[in-house]
Structure 1
Amino acid sequence: MTSRTHCLLATGVLATLAAVGCAPSTSTTGANGPGGTSTENAAGEPVIDKDFNLAALTAAAKAEGTVTVYDSTGDIKKVAEAFQAKYGIKTTGVKSDVSDTLEKMTREAQAKNVTIDLTLYENGPTLVGQLLPQKTVYTWIPADLADQIPAENRNPLLVLSKANVWIYNPTVFPKGCPVDNLWDLTSAEWKGKVTLQDPLGKPNIVEWFNQMGSTYDADLRAAYQANSGQDLTTTESSAAREWVKQLAKNKPILTSADDDVSAAVAAPNQTEPRIGLVSIAKFRDVAGKGYKMKVCDTLKPYVGYQYPKFGAIATGSKHPNAAKLLMHFVLTAEGITPEMGSGGISGNTAVPPSSNNPPGLTDWSKQLMKFDSSKLLSDFREAQSMQDHWRLNHR
């Protein structure tokens, strides 16, 4: 990616931050439905709707007649169709990048003209650092499902965990994944052969970098020692920042979408030796497009990372009851299944994990790094620093 493109991306990020930074706190008018209880406290933390009544909420939602939900995956349209078929409420599901959703929800709150009723939102740092404390959105948990949602999944409300994994082409590498350690990707052998979405345009990659430093530093150092036989020596504040620096300097191929990553690694006519980082959703292309891809299931210390998708309702929604009913829907197996077609784990422990995980991804708890929601605010504060760190080293 050119330096000019990087500058444009940085400018866009700063503009969004500036717009959000001056957003006023919106009122909670319309946030309470048939339950009648407050849905959030002054800190923006979730409060369980103890007076929840599904029949009353359904009646109120049907009276409102319509609801709009934004998500970063096109699968939200399937969720919308299923919800509309079940309740007869006109439902619009819109695929939108998280940065676009952030800006639109912020500007709508400022203008007091809200059209997005709720969002399934993948950027936890901006959710806890901007949208929630500014009361642009709130977290609502129905009492009938509260016991099925563990404490670590409530603040913010985790709706679904998906995964990004490192992949290879088994036609090019018939003996299996050609790397077995994350540090291999920073070696001269793999210079210009690693491909991933540009971290400056993909927030959960930047968050992954930060979470590696705060939560998985010891694992990354142990992997370095296992790979080189030496302890890691670095002037950086964490092993993660050192790994990020080395990866950035190793001339990775950056793209604007996972589709381009999977094509660069696994397209039917692809013969170049490459490793790529993609969402497990791209494994639908194995059957759909004849792609040749497998998970690097021997990679240490982990083959990828879980990224969370949170649920939040717009404080100024004109259809608050329909929004709540849709949120209740996606917290059930019936509602979230359309988003689990290529794998995933619901934030509701009563919902079985997807049976469609790609081959090789058999144990999420052992194979994948998991984001710690208690560190999302720290991730928010460190996001710009990590973006700058990547930008300065990827030249």
Structure 2
Amino acid sequence: MKKSLRFTKISVLLVAAISMSLTACGSTGPKGGAAPVQAGDESKLFGLSKTETPDELYEKAKKEGKVVVYSPSARANDAKKTFEAKYPGITVEVFKLKSNDLMDKLIKEQDAGLFNADVIITKEVSGAVGEEMVKPGRVYKYLPEDIAPNVDEPFRTKDGYANYLEMRTLYYNTEAYKSAPVSSWWDLTTPEWTGKVYLVDPLSSPAFMDLFTGMVVNSDDMKKAYKDKFGKEIELHGTENAGYEFIKRLRENKPVVLKGSGDVLDAIGKAGTKSQAVGVAVSGDERKIEDDGLKVAPIYDIKPKTSVPDAGYVYMAQKAPHEYAGKLFIRWMMGEKDGKGAGVEPFNELGSWVPRSDVKSKNAIPYEKLNMWTYEAKGFYTNSAKVRDFWIKLK
């Protein structure tokens, strides 16, 4: 996170001023990069490209011969296998990088005049992807018009399309509890839960810290949830708002901090333990629950909101050298026009949602019914470092 937030506030403002008319538009030439948007031109404003059929793209992509992908997820390699079988003559080169390292690599390359990447798959890095990559036009959204009508909001009109979403939420032991033992985040600050909440160290993961940053950014919701829970207005004890107050009281309640999400699930979910604790883990680890026979279940409705989406955004890179192959690969990962293409299958798993109305989720609850805050990059970018410092000072 330190690396990705190397721009000063002044430089960010300058970039924003210069880039007000830029967007993640979808129909630029290989050397064109992001294009200016004219007021009222929604197809460009929302990055909706004219529909180029897979056959049209394939004919052009065969001349390019390959597509270069930067991704933190191994799912890109799964999509690669089926794509190469479907479209012989095009090789998919996947470079697996953590999202913050991916950002640094892409920015350094582009600043040096090197445009190697075609497709970027990335999680947010506390708002830095939106502020340092999307706004300056380093990456742009590609969402074909024949697919767009089936994409759920906010990703249809947001400046980035998410091919899949996960979240950080609470899990409980199903042998100890017949139903969810908490219904509000504020429950975790009460004496009943002292020492019985397991967390991943948020200093080790921007995505886990984003959950707490989301509470600070949406402090009015946290304030209302407090009143709903305790029947009185919240009193702040040296904190700025209800989000910070929650973090403070949670830390005072002595949560157990572990290294990773899998460790949290193991700690609360081993069969026969009947653990009375709850833990915050990533929904993408629900495959581990099945594989390891853990007795845990997620809580998908917590007041005021269950979580913030941890989205895997898909972008075209500025001046992509293999533009048509890149577009074809993105369509493949999206599942094509009907949502049934094999490329979407690695992204549609337990604990992972594809935000398309025509893709049936493998989860018990569909994406559109998840009770989540909207992830606004600017708010997280502005507040994340401050929340991180606040967490450190509470040690």
Query: Normalised by the shorter chain, which TM-score bucket?
Result: 0.7 to 0.9
2:349 to 341, 345, 348: 341
2:33, 2:4 → 1: CA distance? Answer: 30
Matched, 1:32 2:4: no
Match of 2:76 in 1: 76
- Normalising by structure 1, we get a TM-score of 0.80
2:48, 2:359 → 1: CA distance? Answer: 23
Give the conservation status (yes or no) of the 8 Å contact 1:71–1:97. yes
**What is the Cα deviation at residue 387 of structure 1?**
1.4
> 1:276-327, CA deviations, whole angstroms, 9 ceiling, x for partnerless residues?
1122221212221111111235643444443322211221433222111111
**What is the Cα deviation at residue 215 of structure 1?**
4.1
SS at match of 2:63: helix
Match of 2:267 in 1: 264
SS at match of 2:150: coil
2:219, 2:82 → 1: CA distance? Answer: 39
Matched, 1:97 2:98: yes
Give the conservation status (yes or no) of the 8 Å contact 1:77–1:94. no
Say if 1:15 and 1:73 are closer, same or farther in 2 by CA, change over 3 A.
Answer: closer
SS at match of 1:144: coil
Q: How is 1:12-31 mapped onto 2 (pairs within 5 angstroms)?
A: 13-18=1-6
Paired amino acid for 1:170: T
2:293, 2:265 → 1: CA distance? Answer: 11
Q: How is 1:246-285 mapped onto 2 (pairs within 5 angstroms)?
A: 246-268=249-271, 270=273, 272-285=275-288
Q: How is 1:293-372 mapped onto 2 (pairs within 5 angstroms)?
A: 293-296=296-299, 299-332=302-335, 333=339, 334=341, 335-349=343-357, 351-354=358-361, 356-357=362-363, 362=365, 364-365=367-368, 367-372=370-375
Match of 2:138 in 1: 136
1:265, 1:15 → 2: CA distance? Answer: 34
Match of 1:387 in 2: 388
> 1:37-77, CA deviations, whole angstroms, 9 ceiling, x for partnerless residues?
97532799553323634333212222222223233333222
Give the conservation status (yes or no) of the 8 Å contact 1:117–1:314. yes
Q: How is 1:86-125 mapped onto 2 (pairs within 5 angstroms)?
A: 86-88=86-88, 89-123=90-124, 125=127
Say if 1:336 and 1:53 are closer, same or farther in 2 by CA, change over 3 A.
Answer: closer
SS at match of 1:123: coil
Deviates more, 1:297-306 or 1:281-290: 297-306
- Normalising by structure 2, we get a TM-score of 0.80
Match of 1:152 in 2: 154
Match of 1:191 in 2: 194
1:81, 1:379 → 2: CA distance? Answer: 35
**What is the Cα deviation at residue 339 of structure 1?**
0.9
**What is the Cα deviation at residue 130 of structure 1?**
0.3
1:315, 1:328 → 2: CA distance? Answer: 18
Say if 1:352 and 1:264 are closer, same or farther in 2 by CA, change over 3 A.
Answer: same
Say if 1:20 and 1:64 are closer, same or farther in 2 by CA, change over 3 A.
Answer: farther
Paired amino acid for 1:161: L
2:191, 2:28 → 1: CA distance? Answer: 58
Deviates more, 1:97-106 or 1:186-195: 186-195
Cα RMSD (Å): 3.5
Matched, 1:67 2:67: yes
Paired amino acid for 1:133: K
Match of 2:204 in 1: 201
1:166 to 154, 164, 170: 170
Give the conservation status (yes or no) of the 8 Å contact 1:330–1:336. yes
Paired amino acid for 1:132: V
1:222, 1:14 → 2: CA distance? Answer: 33
Match of 2:58 in 1: 58
Give the conservation status (yes or no) of the 8 Å contact 2:168–2:307. yes
Give the conservation status (yes or no) of the 8 Å contact 2:287–2:350. yes
- 5+ residue gaps in structure 1? 1-12
Say if 1:190 and 1:95 are closer, same or farther in 2 by CA, change over 3 A.
Answer: farther
**What is the Cα deviation at residue 98 of structure 1?**
1.5
> 1:13-57, CA deviations, whole angstroms, 9 ceiling, x for partnerless residues?
3333227998999xx9x98359x9975327995533236343332
Give the conservation status (yes or no) of the 8 Å contact 2:214–2:308. no
Aligned pairs, number: 371
- 5+ residue gaps in structure 2? 19-23, 39-43
> 1:356-392, CA deviations, whole angstroms, 9 ceiling, x for partnerless residues?
21x5xx36555521324xx321221121112112222
> 1:216-235, CA deviations, whole angstroms, 9 ceiling, x for partnerless residues?
623x3333223323221225
1:285, 1:133 → 2: CA distance? Answer: 37
Say if 1:94 and 1:281 are closer, same or farther in 2 by CA, change over 3 A.
Answer: farther
